[in-house]
Amino acid sequence: MPHFEATNTSNANAFTIADTPSFLDDSSIFGTICPTLDTLHKIAPQIPKECKKLPIYKELYADFITPIMAIALLKSRSQNAFLLESMQDRKQWGRYSFLGFEPSAHISYSNGVVRLESNEQKLLDLARFGKKVSKHHAQSNTIEFQANPKEILREVLKLYKSPNLAQYGIENIPSFSGGLVGYFAYEYIGLIEEKLDFAKTQKSIIDSTSHTKAQNPTQTKDIEFMLFDSLIIFDNLAQKLLLLTNIDLDKNKTSTDSLKNAYIQGIKKLESIEEILCQNPSSPSTKEKISKEQSLPQNPQTNYQTPQSNQTAHDKIPTPLPCAIASSLPNAFAKSLQGFRLDSPLKSHYDKAEFCAIVDKAKHYIKEGDIFQVVLSNPLHAKASGSLFDVYRVLRTSNPSPYMFYLTSSDLEIAGASPETLLKLQNGTIYTYPLAGSRPRGSTPIQDENLAKELLSDEKELSEHNMLVDLGRNDIGRVAKVGSVKVEQYQNIVRYSHIMHISSRVSGILREDKDAFNALDSIFPAGTLSGAPKIRACEIIHELEGTNRGIYGGAIGYLDFSGNMDMCIGIRLVVKQGDEVSVRSGAGIVYDSDGEKEFVETQNKAKAVINALQTASQNTPKTKR
């Protein structure tokens, strides 16, 4: 399975934020800049004219800080930040963790209006692509206007386009070196298929007992991304910390002075990030930097595999050391780590009888020939206070997954551990991984293996999976070169902490006249979260569920300055807005589905996130609220 290529060998629970060491101020850490200025002078004439940026990075040892410590520190400086990590089947962390803070721009779209916030005039000037400027807040450097959000995002990426340095012999550049980080909500489908734009026709459904269900109060944007041209990257394989920024490329790329000046400015940016990481949170006035040497050891001996574990869904979840300890730290830092608490029980939108009723309605559409399969979901909501930071800490250890993410902005927090890729575009090749058919994990290795065999012999599950593999082939075929689409790794079992699935891989080579947005539109939303045929399934989902899904069933990830994309499906996640948290999970419905079993499947899929919420909440002392 693909992943965000995250990394971390440290146990985030081994010491608390209060233990964030003063030894950071006087450690001896080696540092070097890559590529060198001489190298850039050599390759600059070869770089295409449309490239406006170029990444440079500084290497440091990564044994003095973890990604969890780093994101906690960054949250104290910026309410807009992210952390992307990855782990495969409890055995091995992915190579890279990506962190960002203080974005250059914040771009969102809802109700036909693009909202763009930035301190850079060249980004605010993108309003010229809009039909009408509705609002311009000069004091906050924010502008709102009517426009196609995909075109605005395309223009943003053009302004920051960077080359693939591997083509010029510069290796070891991470897969993500700056770009847009955020999400496309499920309702983004309305921008792809006009008949699926339900914004003006949103309605509640009448259930089998003839009373109207309450609307889902989640009000996420249809699109929301932050622009990061500087990153903090943990390299687990080499045990290094990479501080990366993108420097400006002058129109005359052969200009020695302009390239040198840009390089110097880039180094200053890297040093400012380093200074932030080297501060002791309990002494924020500290300005001393880590001492530096000429180069790193050439072949550091590392082992980035964790011991194999037989842990299952029934294992006890370790309790995280409380971030409420941060109350002894400066106010800004303590506030960023405010402990999480559930202030009311999680309540399902539909009880078992109600969910079975809408399953029966879906089966009626299947028998009538409207669809072959549809995915119906059931949201849960609760009142909550504090930050999802501790929830993410629990989730990353109790449910390690290929895509683990924590995103925070001024009015929204997202924490999740998704097992499923929506779309990965890497150097011109598109990948998607249909994931359908499931069983809970066994309490012993033998039981676990028996459940896997049972899953692979279940005709209903295999039929559902094969249908989605065919859908993936057709979706990718819309934007791929003729003859390049293929199915690989067919019907493999993939295991996660609480559940196992059947997985296959579908790939194709992107046509030269298409880009990441075309690729996304060809496959969005995932067949595993909608059904087949997709458009009719989405119409039925809207009719039967009657609520906006928000980020659930959408896509979370990044679009890179070099044209790459990595998006996971928005599942196994929790969203917090104001004083409310929401969790959602679904089940695939086919002609012979049993409503009660499908209701249980939605509960199994939500179990990891619910456990993380409850564990984090139980660990937050009431006296600290």
Whether the per-residue pLDDT at 208 is higher than 60: the answer is: no
Q: How many residues in the chain?
A: 625
* Residue listed under structure tokens 């980020």: 551
**Within 13 A of 456's CA, how many CA atoms are on the CB side?**
12
How much is the average pLDDT of 521-526? Answer: 95
Alpha-carbon distances of 211 from 65, 204, 206, 354, 584, rounded to whole Å:
54, 10, 6, 11, 22
pLDDT at 569 over 70: yes
pLDDT tens digits, one per residue of 328-355 = 344 544 555 568 999 999 999 999 999 9
Tokens of 407: 């995103």
Q: At 367, is the pLDDT very low, low, confident or very high (cuts 50, 70, 90)?
A: very high
Indicate if the alpha-carbon torsion angle 504, 516, 221, 416 is positive or negative: positive
Sequence-distant (≥ 6) Cβ neighbours of residue 228 within 8 angstroms: 82, 100, 103, 104, 178, 179, 180, 181
CATH code, residues 17-199+222-299+321-337+352-620: 3.60.120.10
Mean pLDDT (the chain) is 82
| Closest among 366, 422, 371 to 533, alpha carbons compared | 371
Burial 334-368 (b: 16+ CB within 10 A, else e): bebbbbbbbeeebebbbeeebbbbbbebbbebbee
The residue with greater pLDDT, 297 or 577, is: 577
Q: Specify whether the CB–CB gap between 233 and 57 falls below 8 A.
A: yes
Q: pLDDT tens digits for 91-121?
A: 556 789 999 999 999 999 999 999 999 999 9
| Chain center to CA of 91 | 21
Peptide bond into 525 cis (omega under 30): yes
Q: What is the pLDDT of residue 285?
A: 36
- Which DSSP state fits 171? -
Residue 80 pLDDT more than 60? yes
Residues identified as active-site? 501, 528, 552, 572, 588
Express each pLDDT in 294-306 by its tens digit.
233 333 333 223 2
The listed range with the strongest mean pLDDT (43-47, 133-137, 333-337) is: 43-47
Confirm whether pTM is higher than 0.85: no
Per-residue pLDDT, 102:
95
Tell me what pLDDT residue 434 has. 87
Query: Which of these ranges, 165-169, 505-509, 585-589, has the smallest mean pLDDT?
Result: 165-169
Which tokens sit at 575?
């969203």
Check whether 359 has a pLDDT greater than 50. Answer: yes
> Would you list the domain boundaries of the chain?
17-199+222-299+321-337+352-620
Q: What are phi and psi of 5, to 5 degrees?
A: 55, 60
Task: Answer yes or no: are the C-beta atoms of 317 and 350 closer than 8 Å.
Answer: no
pLDDT digits (tens, 9 = 90+) for 475-490: 999 999 999 999 988 9
Residue 252 is predicted with a pLDDT of 62
Find out whether 282 and 329 touch, Cβ atoms under 8 Å.
yes
pLDDT top residue among 491 and 31:
491
Burial class (CB in 10 A: 0-12, 13-18, 19+), 119: exposed
Mean per-residue pLDDT, 166-186: 91
Whether 398 contacts 309, CB under 8 Å: no
Which tops the pLDDT comparison, 156 or 494?
Answer: 156
Element (H, E) at 137: strand 132-137
- Average pLDDT of 568-589? 96
Residues near 495 by beta carbon (within 8 Å), at least 6 away in sequence: 89, 441, 448, 452
**What is the structure's pLDDT at 336?**
52
Reported confidence tier of residue 437, pLDDT bands at 50, 70, 90 = confident
Closest CA to 279 of 540, 5, 24: 24
| Phi, psi for residue 105 in degrees, rounded to 5 | -155, 155
Judge whether 493 and 456 are in contact, CB under 8 Å.
Answer: yes
According to DSSP H, which parts of 279-419 are helical?
A: 331-336, 352-367, 389-398
Q: How confident is the model at residue 144 (pLDDT cuts 50, 70, 90)?
A: very high
Distance of CA 252 to the CA centre of its chain: 37
Structure tokens at 549: 């899904």
Q: Would you state the pLDDT for residue 199?
A: 65
Range scoring the smallest mean pLDDT among 243-252, 290-299, 420-429, 482-491: 290-299
Q: Write down the pLDDT at residue 91.
A: 56
Confirm if 549 and 530 have CB atoms less than 8 A apart: no
Of 37-41, 262-266, 616-620, the one with minimum mean pLDDT is 616-620
Using alpha carbons, list the distances in angstroms from residue 149 to 104, 144, 221, 223, 359: 17, 12, 12, 8, 35
Report the run of H or E that residue 412 belongs to, with start and end: none
**Residue 270's pLDDT band (cuts 50, 70, 90):** very high
Which secondary-structure segment (H or E) carries 577? strand 573-577
Which one, of 595, 522, 515, 537, lies nearest residue 371 by Cα?
537
**Residue 319: band (very low, low, confident or very high) from pLDDT cuts 50, 70, 90:** very low
Question: Which residues lie below 8 Å from residue 19, measured CB to CB, with a gap of 6+?
Answer: none
| Residues linked to residue 135 through DSSP beta bridges, in sequence order | 144
Spatial distance between the Cα atoms of 26 and 30, rounded to a whole number of angstroms: 12
d(CA 276, CA 270): 10
Mean pLDDT, residues 464-474 taken together: 89
Q: In this structure, how many other beta carbons lie within 10 angstroms of the beta carbon of residue 317? A: 18
Q: Is the pLDDT assigned to residue 17 strictly greater than 90?
A: no
Q: Does position 609 have pLDDT exceeding 90, yes or no?
A: yes
The per-residue pLDDT for 194 is: 85
pLDDT at 312: 40
Q: How far apart are CA 109 and CA 90, in angstroms?
A: 37
